[in-house]
Amino acid sequence: MPPLHPPRGRHRKPADTTVLVTGASTGLGLAIGRALIARGYRVVLTARPESMHRFADLGIREGQGVFLRALDVRDPDHRLRIITELEVDLGGIDVLVNNAGISYRTVIEHATERDLQDQLLVNFQAPMELARLSLAGMRARRWGRIIHVSSVGGMMAMPTMGLYSASKHALEGASEALWYEVRPWGIGVTLVEPGFINSDGFQKVRYTPLAQQAEADQRDPYHAHYRYMADFIGAVMRRVQATPQSVANKVVRVIEHPDPPLRVPATLDASLFFWLRRMLPRWVYHRVLYWGLPSVRKWGRGPFSRPALPETGPKEDAED
């Protein structure tokens, strides 16, 4: 059956297409930016104000279709200002790539309301607000692409990563609704879902105060959770073949696809978990994953003490 209201503008030239990439001074965002520049797109790369120096350090400067803008995705004024500025100066955004994000490593018991709010603000609220602000221009032009960098954590959850998974699940749900809502105007919405990527990203996760205390204290009831999960994630991310560049290439293919799908698994493990969830009965799926957790038989054992409740909120060290 042919798709209803297929996206228009199938033969847009890269030089005539403006792409905004958030969190572009490091990691996957940087790889996406470089891939788009190499393809000849008109690219707006953003980073937090305190991270803008990284572009110069990396040899990326404005000129020949490359624009650098400071953007703190947490700040509503920043979000509104950049979308308004690009509408005036460049005629609007054709493609929005919401890549900026942060990741907490904490069990639910060690997370405060403020931690949860911060995780959701950066990974869910900010990208949806940027999408909302971009839509009027895309509708007027009757073409656009909204690409949210999600995660395998948006389809499943791992222990110590519950807040992160919550933010990605929220992003996936809202994006699915948005896919239906804006398709009549030729606007495509896609969730790019990476799993493990061979990078140093696992070293940039944030710990709540209680999580940090528990990882360091062998008497804490959750010490084994943090110790074995951190070792496991780090080992896997150093061994997998997927790289920021390979995922960035998939983002470019989504932009250039005449009718991009709602979800794109971006790594082998993301595809594997997608099919496991579909093929296995749910009770089997969860038990298989549980007994596959690293050293899970050691979890919940040891001379435990009760940790004190935290008095402080999250550190202000969010990723771009």
Q: Is the pLDDT of residue 7 over 80?
A: no
- Report if residue 307 sits inside a domain: no
Q: Cα dist. 94→9, 147, 170 in Å?
A: 11, 11, 24
pLDDT digits (tens, 9 = 90+) for 261-271: 999 999 999 99
Whose structure tokens read 């110790």?
Answer: 227
- The two three-digit tokens of residue 290, written as one number: 């549980």
pLDDT digits (tens, 9 = 90+) for 135-153: 999 999 999 999 999 999 9
* pLDDT for position 313: 52
Rounded Cα distance, 66 and 40, in Å: 9
Q: Is the pLDDT of residue 276 over 50?
A: yes
Q: Is the pLDDT of residue 315 over 50?
A: no
Paired with 19 in beta bridges are 43, 95
- Report if residue 315 sits inside a domain: no
- Report if residue 83 sits inside a domain: yes
* pLDDT for position 311: 52
Whose structure tokens read 């490359």?
Answer: 66
Band (pLDDT 50/70/90 cuts) for residue 2 is: very low
Locate the DSSP E strands across the chain. Answer: 18-21, 42-47, 66-70, 95-98, 104-105, 144-149, 187-193, 206-207, 263-265
Rounded Cα distance, 35 and 87, in Å: 23
pLDDT digits (tens, 9 = 90+) for 176-194: 999 999 999 999 999 999 9
pLDDT digits (tens, 9 = 90+) for 113-137: 999 999 999 999 999 999 999 999 9
**Which SS3 state, helix, strand or coil, does residue 312 take?**
coil
Band (pLDDT 50/70/90 cuts) for residue 257 is: very high
- Report if residue 288 sits inside a domain: no
Q: Cα dist. 111→120, 169, 204, 300, 316 in Å?
A: 13, 18, 18, 18, 15
Q: Is the pLDDT of residue 169 over 60?
A: yes
Q: Is the pLDDT of residue 319 over 80?
A: no
- When the pLDDT of each residue in the chain is averaged and rounded to a whole number, the result is 91
- What CATH number is associated with residue 264? 3.40.50.720
Q: Is the pLDDT of residue 1 over 80?
A: no
Q: State the Cα torsion 101-106-108-113 to the nearest 10°.
A: -60
- Report if residue 226 sits inside a domain: no
* pLDDT for position 312: 52
In a 13 Å sphere around the CA of 20, the CA atoms on its Cβ side amount to: 31
Please check whether residue 46 is in contact with residue 71, taking contact to mean a CB–CB distance below 8 angstroms: yes
- Report if residue 310 sits inside a domain: no
The amino acid occupying position 289 is L
Band (pLDDT 50/70/90 cuts) for residue 303 is: low
% of the chain residues with pLDDT over 70: 90
**Residues acting as catalytic residues:** 164
Mean pLDDT computed over 190-210: 88
Mean pLDDT computed over 270-282: 91
* pLDDT for position 301: 82
Can you give the residue range of the structural domain that contains 72?
A: 14-210+233-278
pTM, entire model:
0.90
- Report if residue 313 sits inside a domain: no
Please check whether residue 318 is in contact with residue 26, taking contact to mean a CB–CB distance below 8 angstroms: no
Give the least confident one: 23-27, 231-235, 246-250.
231-235
- Report if residue 254 sits inside a domain: yes
* pLDDT for position 309: 57
Taking residue 32's Cβ as centre, other Cβ atoms within 10 Å add up to: 31
**Which SS3 state, helix, strand or coil, does residue 285 take?**
helix
* pLDDT for position 3: 45
pLDDT digits (tens, 9 = 90+) for 16-73: 999 999 999 999 999 999 999 999 999 999 999 999 999 999 999 999 899 999 999 9
Domain count, the chain: 1
